[in-house]
Amino acid sequence: MQQQAFIFSNEPRYRWARHLSFWAAWWLFQGFLYSFISINNTTQFNLRLPASLAESLIYLIVHAFLSYSLMYFVVPRFLLKGRYWLTTVWVVILFLLTAALSAGLSVTIIPEVRMAIIGQSYAEQYRTPTLNIHLALMAGLRGAITVGGIAAAIKLMKLWYMKEQRNLQLQKENVAAQLQVLKAQVHPHFLFNTLNNIYAYTQTTSPVASSLVIGLSDMLRYMLYECNQPLVPLSKEIKMLRDYCSLEQVRYDQHLDLQVNIAGDKGEVMIAPLLLLPFMENAFKHGASHLLEAAWISLSINVEGDTLKMKLINSKPIDTTTRNDGSQGLGISNVQTRLNFLYPNRHELSITNEEELFIVNLTVKLEKATSRTPVEALTNKTEYALT
């Protein structure tokens, strides 16, 4: 969106310029419009115009109050979350409040401004206070609806455009990833037959190598045949995590203290595949692999109903030059994008980079397996088991 940075960028310079431009345009529009239709037609235009511009500048206070209340309170908190009744209630309250504030200005400050600019010509035609209040309320409500509608429309159009651009970007990344997979694809029959042969040879000569082969086989089978589904059983995702940890622990032997604690009922919820693996890969890559001794990783996963809570802590060297905050890691960046896309407003991710520790706290509200999407239907794929 670099080409439309003025409209879509969140950098302070663009945001200030964007908002100031909007309010300057609204002020001039109102000022020139009401210079032709307000006050009275006997007053000279060279007096009506500055008076109208001054009034419009004062009314910007209540118009800005309404616009920002709608854009940054009502729209994100209620409208985008589908809470339409509360949206309607708040919109009505804000419209009426804005009209009342506008009417208050109309019968207090505005007459003084008109008197200062127009003078006795205005005082001679000043209406009764009751009529002024009535007209001020109507005018304030009309102005509130106008500026509030414009501001909310701009906000919603911007959010819609940014969502469409994000979806297009994800589609491009998905196509690119599929192309990379196709380039490196090995026929599953050949792959699993080769693993079968290696497994058969290592059963008697090297039990450790045999367990590594079968663990790798389970991971590959999961990635090849089950991860093409939008959701997989959480139990299988966790099994894949255990297989990955087992393979890595053999690599580090006695130099790694790995603690894995899984609690809760995993059989009734579904999760997007390979959502948790990048965090474990990050812990091994940027933590354990840089420590020659006393490396440790602690993984805790707790499932309560349809809510998954994961806490991952790993040690890391103090003087490492490799950043472990996830900002440069493609895997962590991708999984953050997936979380925002697949679980909007349904997850909390906290990444803490301390001097000797790297901590990830993740809470995700998952989907329960139902009769419409049974576990068996989602995972009914041909498997090539080692025999």
10-residue averages of pLDDT along the chain (387 residues): 62 82 86 68 67 83 87 87 89 87 81 74 48 64 79 84 82 73 58 70 72 79 79 89 83 78 83 89 74 78 92 78 48 82 91 86 88 41 36
Residue pair 7/18 in contact (Cβ under 8 Å)? The answer is yes
The H or E element spanning position 304 is: strand 295-304
Sign of CA dihedral 137, 143, 146, 151: negative
Q: SS3 sequence, 69-138? A: HHHHHHHHHHHCCCCHHHHHHHHHHHHHHHHHHHHHHHHCHHHHHHHHHCCHHHHCCCCCHHHHHHHHHH
Residue pair 287/297 in contact (Cβ under 8 Å)? The answer is yes
Strand-pair partners of 259? 298
- Per-residue pLDDT, 5: 66
- Per-residue pLDDT, 134: 62
At 35, the amino acid letter reads: S
**CB under 8 Å to 179, separation ≥6 — which residues?**
none
The alpha carbon of 134 is separated from its chain's Cα centroid by a whole number of angstroms, namely: 45
CATH 3.40.50.720 fits 188-378, yes or no: no
- Per-residue pLDDT, 135: 64
CA gap 68, 214 in Å, rounded:
59
- Per-residue pLDDT, 329: 56
- Per-residue pLDDT, 346: 92
Question: How many beta carbons lie within 10 A of that of residue 367, not counting itself?
Answer: 16
- Per-residue pLDDT, 315: 85
Backbone φ and ψ of 385, nearest 5°: -85, 150
pTM: 0.47
Domain residue limits, the chain: 2-169, 188-378
- Per-residue pLDDT, 380: 39
Tokens of 371: 């009769």
